[in-house]
Amino acid sequence: MQSGQVFIGGAWRPAASAQTYATINPATEEESAQVALGDERDVDLAVRAARKAFEAGPWSKMAAAERARLIWKLGDLIMANLDEMARLESLCTGKTLFDSGKVEIPFAAEVFRYYAGWATKIHGETLGLREGAFTFTLRQPVGVVGAIVPWNFPFLLASWKIAPALAAGNTVVLKPASLTPLTALKFAELCQEAGLPEGVFNVVTGPGAAVGMALVRHPDVDKIAFTGSTEVGKQIMREASGSLKRVSLELGGKSPNIVFADADLDAALKGALTGIFYNKGEVCAAGSRLFIEQRVHDEFMSKLTERAKGLKIGDPMDRSTRMGPVISRHQMDVVLAYIEAGKQEGARLVVGGGRASVGGGKGYFVEPTIFDGVSNRMKIAREEIFGPVLSVIAFKSVDEGIAEGNETTYGLAAAVWTRDVAKALRAARAIRAGTVWVNAYNLYDAALPFGGFKESGFGRELGSAGIDPYTEVKSIWVDLS
């Protein structure tokens, strides 16, 4: 794999700096690859290549059905290379091979196939407004898209941007997270194999400050699609205002997972564990605040702590492992600092609370950690930790549970657990979040939109709504008089 080069205009080349940097396997703390250290010069070349492919190349002139065929082929190639893609993803992120190979890479392939179907279904409307005129609208691609993705779901979240952008007829420059670029580079090889025209898809690796912000500032980029932290999202908005380019942002979360006393407690228990410990809690929609109705609090907590203690932490390449290391030493230190803050603020530590000893002390492993007796005023309940740390908050009534759940600056996701359909629908309507699961957690479908309220961002990905950010609506008035 061409890990030491960038992919621009359909060809591999060294970065303009002629330098590389090492990616680190978080399970072993050893170097996994040398990756090209891109900068604004590489971004400029990639944007120029994408602009040429959009304006003059075959992509803009290609029939929608042919675009659909190529995008579908990408989905097939992802599945044909599933084992390699999954291993590269786990190598970079520390996520388990089960999560990469059984869940996330197959879902990414599904996203490409879903949007392949949309390529031939993007259309305008005919509007019979008045006599003597023929009026209609067209939906056209926005142009060059800069896609900036995070390190927690590197390829899956890239697919959420690349597939609809290509289906709508745009060209793409992808900036993968500097910690996790390997699946993006492998995908560039698959684009070559699929026969994607030169310049339609480009990859520039390197640090966000140099590569990501160069994309945001570049005057010839028409749209930025970003997933990442709220802090960086705000910075992107400020920088993008200089050229008034389109921006869609999927940002952080502090999602409430609300268990009512009449819920199926065994199902809710499984959902609580999945909600916070899937992918080591490095999930923007993680159910990091667990609200338990007071009447069932003690019973639920007893089972929850027992199950959390039994989670197998270890080598992510071992198919029996259920939780790998967090992404980096820095992130491990951040998570451990939040755990210490929880102790200092008076939350009651009931499970975990430290670095896990795995493989002779190597790797950035953090124990599954649960705090009880938490209030929304505490730092661990207000701020996104992005690690396997759960804050448990008791409540006494439906109204209190909903109100406490909404007491956050974020609004990405939420869940409610109850056998009462009316209660479930009332809560789902009242919770200020882009996704509300009822008697489930962390379920996604390529056809169902995903995005946030409040400081969790704006815009939607997936589903038909995921096409809209990549198209412009043009009104045409033909005078017939």
Positive or negative, the CA dihedral 458, 174, 200, 163 is negative
Other beta carbons within 10 angstroms of residue 391's beta carbon come to 27
CB 6 within 8 A of CB 185: no
- For residue 408, which amino acid is it? T
CA nearest to 296, candidates 329, 263, 339, 256: 263
How long a stretch of residues is the chain?
A: 481
Using DSSP bridges, classify how beta strands 348-351 and 369-372 pair: parallel, antiparallel or unpaired. Answer: antiparallel
CA–centroid distance for 101 within its chain: 17
**Is residue 89 annotated as part of the catalytic site, yes or no?**
no
Cα–Cα distance for residue pair 299/74, rounded to 1 Å? 48
Q: Looking at 239, 250, 293, 455, which residue is catalytic?
A: 250
355 phi, psi to nearest 5 deg: -75, 135
Burial of 266 (0-12, 13-18, 19+ CB in 10 A): exposed
| Active-site entry in 104, 284, 293, 461 | 284
Angle in degrees, CA 145, 62, 135, rounded to 5 = 80
Using the structure block, give the residue that is written with the tokens 């993006």: 184
| Opening angle at CA 328, ends 276 and 15, nearest 5 | 125
Tokens of 223: 């749209």
Element (H, E) at 369: strand 369-372
At which residue do the structure tokens 């025209």 appear?
Answer: 197
Q: Examine the residue annotation and report whether 306 is marked as an active-site residue of this protein.
A: no
Count of Cβ atoms closer than 10 Å to residue 231 Cβ: 11
Residues 445, 466 contacting (CB under 8 angstroms): no
Closest CA to 286 of 141, 212, 387, 214: 387
Beta bridge partners of 447: none
Give the DSSP letter string of 363-404: S--B--EEEES--TTSHHHHS---SSEEEEEEESSHHHHHHH
Work out the end-to-end distance of the chain between its first and last CA atoms, rounded to an integer number of angstroms.
62
Q: Which residues are tagged catalytic? A: 250, 284
